[in-house]
Structure 1
Amino acid sequence: MRRLILHIGSHKTGSTSIQKFLLKNRNSLKEIGWILFCERPDGTESVHGNANSWVSFSGEKKEFKAKLDKRLFSALNKTTGNMIMSCEELSWLYQSEEIQYVFDELSQIFNDIKVICYIRRQDKHLLSHYHQGFRYPHSSARDFFGNTICIVPTHLKYYQNYLDYTEKLSCWAVSFGGNNLYVREFSRDKFEGENVVSDFLKILNLNIKFDPDDESEPVNESLNLVQTIVNYAVFNSRNELWYELGRRKFTGNMAFHSDNKPQLDQASQNAIMVNYYVTNKKLSKYVPDLSSNWVSPTPEPMEELDAFKPMPEEEYKNAVQAIVSYYDGLSILGFVKIKYRRFVESHWGKRNIR
């Protein structure tokens, strides 16, 4: 009998922390009978401990589509033992036939399949996931939500394809069985040990020691407003430029430090959450202890509400000053490294962006 734990995200719910822990503790997993699947389609291993590279994307906004590489099942079939696979890009699948296909293929390999999913309140999720699109030039969030420079965009109807959790979870429940679906609210006060990794291990009864104090390095921190504006300008200039400048090391440069991060006021929260008033009332079927504030806004006509919140003008001034400060502090060696990276990027190889 082979077992599979399939972690499907959602995005912005601590998936990176879970994957980092699982990768770091592969030997401990093996000792209790579990193997982490993090193979890439080219046969190499993901340094991030996930299986995200098996999902590809096409189109933008309403035309955005996620496609699962069917070779994944052949790769899984060549493995032995009980597997854990973490792939938050699977949460982009929201068509019932797509999810049924995943089940049909996996059930030919594994006898017992558990699916675990964390969900974040839609207004908080949209804010965080939208700004994920400004972290990297190539981003599924950027393709789906768009890249207008603002705190948060006006909620568009097609966003519900991703953010209507009740509809999407019902598809997974029908295919995999409701008793095999574990859904958790992404909220620190709901977590076992107030930590998403501890919660993940407890829910699935994985007996591995986890000490939150050992995870001192920040994971997937949100951008501040200056960083968002700077990255937006760099991406629009030339996607490759961000890689040449140093990727995340560039974005994290002290010149771009700011305490101002994207936040939503109450009106913007309500303007988003009103779209999910009805569907969230049904979510308790999957999350019995769901917090009451998921359904608290009183429904109002959507045309009277606008969630669009522009970027403060002052932050553009701060971003320009930050760019000047960055170049003012750039050493000759640093400048040469940037130009060398540009030469390499333009002459050799395809970059691994996932």
Structure 2
Amino acid sequence: MKCLLHIGTEKTGSTSIQNFLTCNIEEFSRHGIKICETLGVGNNRVLASYFQGRLDDFSRQHKLKTLEEQKAYFAADLDAFRLEVEAARKTHEIFLISSEHLHSRLTTPEQVADLQAFLSPLFDEIQVFGYFREQASLVKSNYSTWVEGGGGAASLAKFCQEATPGNPYYDYCALAEMWTEAFGRDAFCARLYKRSALHEGDVRMDFAIEALGLQSFSDFTFIETESNRSLGSVGILIARGLNFALPQFWFGGRRNRFRDGLMRLAILSGLARIGQLKFPQASDIKYQFENSNRLFSKNFLGEPNNIFR
């Protein structure tokens, strides 16, 4: 049985893909495709949490204070996952795991290699599949999500400082090097995340065709959901102010629902969508990744020039 490992990347329609997968679990099963259910609903984030090298918001939600506690906590889920794979092997040809956190949380070759060592004995073949978008647009979208969710009060200029060559979150050549070193060059499949490059401009349909090899969708359900729209300039100011005044989590790891409620009110009222966020750093970011993107385009997207322009 083949494992299809969808690693995102972040801000490339992963939530839309995962909603599509969970809405059609039975239909995919009839096509010989098993959607993973033991590692988290939709986003199979548990897998990333076990192999990542740091604590994060997911850790705090589960009141985990050390990496040792984190591994112990999620070990039972991995045992259930092994049983799920073994049962699926009898009736399915593809086992699908999807989590954009495999992109954002596994940041070293050692972590990716550990993941490969865990998955390899369970499957006959493993393919790593990801969508990739131009880095400046990724930074802007990611910043909006970060401040909206309570990540911090830093400015966009400060946030941009992490978008540098060598950081595998943004440097796709560095990311590809980690994943191909562990899983092999032939196992790594990249797609450009751009509406004009997707089948019918729909990332869900593109994923079904390019990653899963499906051609007919008459029996599948496509539910339109609200997209993760970016905040406007007013929304960014509101979010930064809330983040400065109120913590993302209370002591003990409980999510600050009061802060989240105020942010949600700003979005529902329309205030958070007012104004255009100025992004003068965009051209510098594009310039920094010019050479890396040209190489990635040539080696993994089949284009001799920088396809992200």
Same-fold call, TM cutoff 0.5: yes
Gaps of 5+ in 1: 61-65, 297-354
For the residues of structure 1 that align with 2:148 and 2:119, how far apart are their CA atoms?
Answer: 33
Query: What is aligned with 1:178?
Result: 185
**In structure 2, do the counterparts of structure 1 residues 214 and 99 end up closer, same or farther at CA, with 3 Å as the change threshold?**
closer
- 2:308 maps to 1:286: no
- 2:112 maps to 1:99: yes
Gaps of 5+ in 2: 58-66, 89-93, 250-254
Query: What is aligned with 2:169?
Result: 162
Within 5 Å, give how 1:223-302 maps onto structure 2.
223-238=231-246, 239=248, 243-244=257-258, 246=261, 249-254=264-269, 256-265=271-280, 268-283=281-296, 284-289=298-303, 292=306, 294=308
For the residues of structure 1 that align with 2:56 and 2:22, how far apart are their CA atoms?
Answer: 32
SS of alignment partner, residue 35 of structure 1: strand
Aligned residues: 274
For the residues of structure 1 that align with 2:145 and 2:232, how far apart are their CA atoms?
Answer: 11
- 2:55 maps to 1:58: yes
Query: What is aligned with 2:229?
Result: 221
TM-score by length of structure 2 reads: 0.77
- Superposed CA RMSD: 3.1
Residue 127 of structure 1 deviates from its aligned partner by: 1.1
Q: Which has the larger radius of gyration?
A: 1
SS of alignment partner, residue 253 of structure 1: helix
Structure 1 residues 214-247: Cα deviation after superposition (integer angstroms, max 9, x where no partner): 5433222222222222222223322358513637
Query: What is aligned with 1:13?
Result: 12
For the residues of structure 2 that align with 1:12 and 1:276, how far apart are their CA atoms?
Answer: 18
- 2:188 maps to 1:191: no
Q: Percent identity?
A: 20
SS of alignment partner, residue 113 of structure 1: strand
For the residues of structure 2 that align with 1:27 and 1:247, how far apart are their CA atoms?
Answer: 38
Residue 292 of structure 1 deviates from its aligned partner by: 3.4
**In structure 2, do the counterparts of structure 1 residues 180 and 85 end up closer, same or farther at CA, with 3 Å as the change threshold?**
same
Residue 161 of structure 1 deviates from its aligned partner by: 3.6
The correspondence for 1:87, drawn from 99, 102, 110, is 99
The structure, 1 or 2, with the larger RCO (C-alpha pairs under 8 Å, 6+ apart) is: 2
For the residues of structure 2 that align with 1:29 and 1:286, how far apart are their CA atoms?
Answer: 28
For the residues of structure 1 that align with 2:13 and 2:182, how far apart are their CA atoms?
Answer: 25
Residue 101 of structure 1 deviates from its aligned partner by: 1.4
Structure 1 residues 301-336: Cα deviation after superposition (integer angstroms, max 9, x where no partner): xxxxxxxxxxxxxxxxxxxxxxxxxxxxxxxxxxxx
SS of alignment partner, residue 162 of structure 1: coil
For the residues of structure 2 that align with 1:221 and 1:210, how far apart are their CA atoms?
Answer: 29
Structure 1 residues 106-139: Cα deviation after superposition (integer angstroms, max 9, x where no partner): 01111121111111111111111122111212xx
SS of alignment partner, residue 235 of structure 1: helix
Query: What is aligned with 1:77?
Result: 82
Within 5 Å, give how 1:300-311 maps onto structure 2.
none
Structure 1 residues 153-211: Cα deviation after superposition (integer angstroms, max 9, x where no partner): 44344872421111111221122122221101111111122111111011121356179
**In structure 2, do the counterparts of structure 1 residues 293 and 34 end up closer, same or farther at CA, with 3 Å as the change threshold?**
closer
TM-score by length of structure 1 reads: 0.68
Segment of structure 1 superposing worse, 214-223 or 151-160: 151-160
Q: Give the letter for the 1:225 counterpart.
A: S
For the residues of structure 2 that align with 1:264 and 1:12, how far apart are their CA atoms?
Answer: 18
The correspondence for 1:123, drawn from 102, 127, 136, is 136
For the residues of structure 2 that align with 1:38 and 1:291, how far apart are their CA atoms?
Answer: 40
**In structure 2, do the counterparts of structure 1 residues 236 and 159 end up closer, same or farther at CA, with 3 Å as the change threshold?**
farther
Q: Is the 8 A contact 2:3 2:96 kept in 1?
A: yes
Q: Give the letter for the 1:258 counterpart.
A: R
Q: Give the letter for the 1:254 counterpart.
A: S
- 2:224 maps to 1:209: no
For the residues of structure 2 that align with 1:158 and 1:98, how far apart are their CA atoms?
Answer: 20
For the residues of structure 2 that align with 1:248 and 1:84, how far apart are their CA atoms?
Answer: 34
